[in-house]
Structure 1
Amino acid sequence: MQYTHLGRSGLSVSRLVLGTMNFGPQTSEEDSHAIMDRAHAHGINFFDTANVYGIQPGDGVTEEIIGRWFATGGDRREKTVLATKVYLPTGNGPNESALSALHIRRAFEASLKRLQTDYIDLYQMHHIDRNTPWEEIWEAFSVLRQQGKVLYFGSSNFAGWHIAQAQEAARSRHFLGLVSEQSRYNLMTRWAELEVLPAARAYGVGVIPWGPLNGGVLGGVLRKLKEGGAYRGVSGHAAAALAHHREAIEAYEKLSADLGEDPAHVGLAWLLAQDGVTGPIIGPRTTEQLDGSLRALQITLDDDTLAKLDQLFPSPAPNGAKPAPEAYAW
């Protein structure tokens, strides 16, 4: 396994992040426990979850599954860098969502109980809260840190401006601030390159891409369809992506085949090659899928291959000769 520091912090995390969103809805508790054990065996120490993951939104089932796994012992908790989130509704009440000090306190304590632990390594804001001042948010978070209940804080789905706001507000309090940003980022969805990645690099915030295979579209969908296998993603977002980008996806799968690699592994390897990326979140539903994902760590994409991928899935920066945000300057 390869490790890196999480942003500018001293915390060492694996370059593949185990996503747990499938635990409960798609994967049984027994299989979820097996996947987490296998992840540790491979050296993956960074696990990501959220207080709203589960069979029904907000029921916390996924955190409970992880908590029962921790309770089986074997230093499972000590070997895990545990990340969870707060923001999305956990009920129907007016104070059961967003980032008020009240909701943060209640949601955090509920997560601790479900996870059967007394601290969280990385506590992430699941979304920006445009109605709660940063003074309130950072004060609530500083209390959790002073109590020893949270070690680091991160964000998710923030714009570059939000990262700047958060960091400057934290700086005014002499607080460490954010060490990570979890953002939707993959070969087909590169909007993060415009402002999020530059802001994150400037502030020492590690980027953790979610949706690294764009809902499975970058995972060899055309080959799987041709082989007649069932594919869970040929509907909704995936179907729309296929309809609009079929030619590019065909070329991408051919390029991957020419490299002798699975398209899913090429997509992960491309993310690992991007400046500022800590590691993509993988969401295996089986131990076999988890095992296969490790191949991405062994793939080195040369400049010619990276250029071909850029041609197939261009960056949204307005001037390809320069990276954003300098692409806007003259």
Structure 2
Amino acid sequence: MEYVNLGRTGLKVSPLCLGTMNFGPHTTEEDAFAIMDRAHELGVNFFDTADVYGWKLGEGITENILGRWFAQGGGRREKTVLATKVYGDTGTWPNEGRLSALHIRRACDASLKRMGTDHIDLYQAHHIDRDTPFEEFWEAMDLLRQQGKILYVGSSNFAGWHLAKAQEAARRRNSLGLVSEQPLYNLLNRTVELEVLPAAQDYGIGVIPWSPVAGGLLGGVLRKIDKGRSAADHVVKELDKQRDKVERYEAFCDELGEEPANVALAWLLKQPAVVAPIIGPRTIEQLDGLMRTLEIDLDDKALARLDEISPGHRSAPEDYSW
């Protein structure tokens, strides 16, 4: 495993990040434990979660699973760069969601308790909160850092101008600012190339793409359907819109002799500012298969073919102006 720096920091993380969103709703606790143990065996040290994962209001199901896994000891917590998120509703009362200083403080303490740890390595704003000024956001985050409860701050689903506003507000406070951004980014969803990636690259913000295989569309969906496996309704609906691209993509993966999911991840690792796409294996076998990604080196000709299959964007404003 060749580790990489998270953005402009000295923090070393694996080039694939283990996403835990399936833990609880789709993956049993026993299987989740096995997947996390296997991830460490393979050298994956970067785990991502959120206080709302598990999708039962206020229960923090997935964070609790991680906490019970850490509690087994064996260096599990020490070997893990732990990332979680704050923003989503954790209750029905006012201030039990979003990014007020009050909610950030309470949510952080709750996440620490659920995961049985004294600090969070990367604490991420799960979404932009248009009602909370960045001055308040940074005051809350800087206090958590001073208290030793968090080490780094990241964002998710921010626009390029949000990243700029966040960094300039942090600069005024002589604060480190954001070190990562977690956007929707894959070969079929390339909007972030307009402004988010250029902003991240300029500010030294590491990009951690979520949904790298486009909800399964880039994971060999046509092959699976041909073999008689069913696909979720939303995947079938989106496939109807993207069928031409997906057909051409899978045909190219066949030419390469590689699994579609691995090619999608390898492509992301070639993009500016990208540090570690988030993978969400439901089984150990899926996790093992995804490790092949790190052995795939797409050359310029292959990258050009993929751009031809699913065109992207030049940076703004060149994409829509001269």
TM norm structure 2: 0.98
On the 8 A contact 1:24/1:55 being kept in 2, the answer is: no
1:270 matched residue in structure 2: 267
For residues 118-157 of structure 1, the aligned pairs below 5 Å read 118-157=118-157
Deviation of the 1:326 alpha carbon: 4.2
Partner-residue secondary structure (3-state), 1:85: strand
Pairwise CA distance, 1:133: 1.2
Q: Is the 8 A contact 1:198 1:325 kept in 2?
A: no
Could you tell me which amino acid in structure 1 is paired with residue 256 of structure 2?
A: L
Give the superposition deviation at 1:165.
Answer: 0.3
User: Match of 1:172?
Assistant: 172
For residues 105 and 257 of structure 1, the distance between their equivalents in structure 2, rounded to whole angstroms, comes to: 50
Residue equivalent to 1:227: 227
239 and 229 in structure 1: CA distance in 2 versus 1, 3 angstrom threshold: closer
Q: Which moved more, 1:302-311 or 1:24-33?
A: 302-311
Q: Structure 2 residue aligned with 1:260, among 250, 257, 261?
A: 257
**SS of aligned partner of 1:151:** strand
Shift of 1:146: 0.5
Matches of 1:118 and 1:245, distance apart in 2: 45
Question: What RMSD over aligned residues (CA atoms) do the two structures have, in Å?
Answer: 1.1
Shift of 1:55: 4.8
Deviations 1:82-129 (A, max 9, x none): 000000100001110011111001111000000000000000000001
Query: Could you say if the C-alpha distance between residues 275 and 228 of structure 1 is closer, same or farther in structure 2, counting changes exceeding 3 Å?
Result: same
Structure 2 equivalent of residue 311 of structure 1: 308
**Structure 1 counterpart SS, 2:216:** coil
Alignment deviations for residues 21-62 of structure 1 (CA, whole Å, 9 cap, x no partner) = 000000000100000000000000000000000152542010
Once the two structures are superposed, residues 238-270 of structure 1 have per-residue CA deviations (whole angstroms, 9 ceiling, x without a partner) of 223211111111111010011000111110110
Q: What is residue 91 of structure 1 aligned with on the other side? A: 91
2-structure distance, mates of 1:153, 1:326: 31
Q: CA deviation at 1:329?
A: 5.2
Whole-Å separation in 1 of the counterparts to 2:222 and 2:321 = 40
Identity of aligned residues (%): 65
Match of 2:193 in 1: 193
The amino acid that maps onto 2:167 is Q
- Structure 1 pair 27–299 and aligned structure 2 pair: CA distance change class (3 A): same
CA contact (8 A) 2:57 2:91 kept: no
Q: For 1:242, which of 239, 242, 255 is the aligned residue? A: 239
Q: Find 1:279's aligned residue among 241, 262, 276.
A: 276
Q: Which amino acid aligns with 2:170?
A: A
Q: State whether residues 163 and 199 of structure 1, in contact with CA within 8 Å, keep that contact through their aligned partners in structure 2.
A: yes
Distance 1:139 1:89 in 2: 21
Quote the offset at 1:306 in angstroms. Answer: 0.8
Query: Structure 2: how far apart are the matches of 1:105 and 1:31?
Result: 32
Deviation of 1:324 (Å): 3.7
State the alpha-carbon separation in 2 of the partners of residues 223 and 254 from structure 1.
Answer: 10
- Where do 5+ consecutive residues of structure 2 fail to align? none
Q: Give the match's secondary structure for 1:99.
A: coil
